[in-house]
Structure 1
Amino acid sequence: MTTTPLALPGLTPLKEVAGRLGIPERRLRERAAARQFTHVRIGKERYLTDDQLEAFLATYTVGRTAPKKTDRDKALEQTRERLSRQQGRQRRVAA
């Protein structure tokens, strides 16, 4: 019986990831310690595999979808419509 050797994934230290992304290493380490994303920990050092790095970036990728309207946006829109109707009525009365 033959065994195939275990293929190890490429590991990128968090320090290198932080440098490439332009974010503070400390913030990345704090998020890793709080388990906000998956990572590999060997001793005190933390690493990301290629798949984990892709998942990390996908989590923080902003799409091109239209922003959701907040309650404030909806209230502002209703106020604009109401003011527009009032101004229309005032113009008709003045004419």
Structure 2
Amino acid sequence: MRLVLSEDAGATLVEREQFTAFAVEVRGTVDLDAFGVLPADNGEVLVPAGWVESLASDAGADWVSAFRDMLRASEPYGWYDSQTGLVRAHIATR
């Protein structure tokens, strides 16, 4: 799953059925703060999980369930923090 951020198109969730990986792709010059995306260590960012869910609002209950399962599975490895609701993601630029 990739969250694509661009100045022109805003935020788009692509490959959203891929629940084994999550990354943020930045296209062009983007103000991450404007999207609520926070910088983290090692070229990674923190993304509000609720916002990701809202970007897939048309996907239905099965998608939400699978996404939340992904979050729970990734929490022991430090990729999700249930206390803050933030998902850690690798960031790529184009």
TM-score (norm 1): 0.31
Which structure ranks higher in relative contact order (CA pairs < 8 Å, sequence separation ≥ 6)? Answer: 2
TM-score (norm 2): 0.31
More strand by percentage: 2
Larger radius of gyration between Structure 1 and Structure 2 = 1
